[in-house]
Structure 1
Amino acid sequence: MTLSIALYQPDIAGNAGTILRLGACLGIDVEIIEPAGFDLTDKALRRAGMDYVAMARLVRHVDFAAFDAARRAAGRRMVLMTTKADGGYCDVAFRPDDVLLFGRESAGVPDAVHALADVRATIPMEAGARSLNLAVSAAMVAGEALRQLRWGGAA
């Protein structure tokens, strides 16, 4: 099992395509928890992911229950990125089979999903800033996880 980025009901095809490209380039699986706010064969998804979409390892789940059952069966930890966490993502000791879960661009994840997370972390931002772009957030967190796991460990 390998590190993966999971997108909970993503709204924007361009973000999902960019994250698929990120996953292809870094060897990270991308899991999409449906329903998505766009057709997963949408031209915008392919445009953002360019020719990397064919290289990406995409796993689709028909809903959150199917995703959660699969990750529990595999014994994988769910690390939720949320604005409702006290600790920052750089303080998380990532594991090789973690699932990095990111919520919808428009609404995050529901409270029931939030409650099921094994770890909750945030990306610290300046006061008054609401959020970062989903693809930027995924890249930041995946980069830290890979730094810890593949590229030299803790600082």
Structure 2
Amino acid sequence: MSNPLVQVALRCPEIPQNTGNVGRLCAITGSRLHLIHPLGFTITDRHLKRSGMDYWHSLDLHEHENWQAFRNAESHRRTWLFTTKATRTFWDVSFAAGDILLFGNEGHGCPEEVHEAIGDEHRIRIPHPRKGLRSINLATSVGIAVYEALRQLRTDNPTD
């Protein structure tokens, strides 16, 4: 795919099942998936295969050696960092075709250097109505974000 409506970037994901589920979601929605290394598993991991590898042949996958390599390749695209450390919600922004939805890893999110590179203006969160609970699962968060972006970008000729 040369111009996907939505792109997803996972920075240093740790859990292969989450990445497999995100890969499956991206394949089905026609979204590009960027994996930013290092990963907490190998791409051939059996858990990754079970969750999403049967869709891997249909996936528009781009792998990046590290955060800087990703930024060098994709800095011309608008990138939204999904984080619990944002004040604006994803409902408060208008997504554009080609935007990248960036997610940190399951254990630590994204480090300060990523927050600084993205800037306050492009940090957003998924609201959590129940206070005191940490966060939503990574794969679930990506699904929520991708479908909101697609809802905003939908055309008069949907695929289903």
TM range (shorter): over 0.9
Aligned to 1:84: 85
The Cα shift of 1:53 comes to: 1.4
Alignment TM-score, normalising by the size of structure 1: 0.93
Tell me if 1:6 matches 2:9: yes
CA–CA distance in structure 1, aligned partners of residues 91 and 31 of structure 2: 18
Q: Which residue of 2 aligns with 1:45?
A: 48
* Uncovered stretches (5+) of structure 1, i.e. residues with no partner: none
Shift of residue 128 of structure 1?
0.7
Determine the structure 2 residue equivalent to 1:98: 99
> Counterparts of 1:30-69 in structure 2 under 5 Å?
30-69=33-72
CA RMSD of aligned residues (A): 1.2
Tell me the CA shift for residue 28 of structure 1: 0.2
Q: How many correspondences in the alignment?
A: 150
Cross-structure match for 1:24 = 27
Counterpart-to-counterpart distance in 2, 1:123 and 1:59? 25
Secondary structure of the residue aligned to 2:88 is coil
Query: Runs of 4 or more off by more than 3 Å in structure 1?
Result: none
Uncovered stretches (5+) of structure 2, i.e. residues with no partner: none
Query: Displacement of 1:91 after TM fit?
Result: 1.1
Distance 1:19 1:45 in 2: 10
How far residue 34 of structure 1 moved from its aligned partner, in angstroms, is: 0.2
For residue 149 of structure 1, the aligned residue among 143, 147, 153 is: 153
What TM-score does the superposition give when structure 2 sets the normalisation length? 0.90
The share of aligned pairs that are identical, in percent, is: 43
Quote the Cα distance in structure 1 between the aligned partners of 2:100 and 2:38: 19
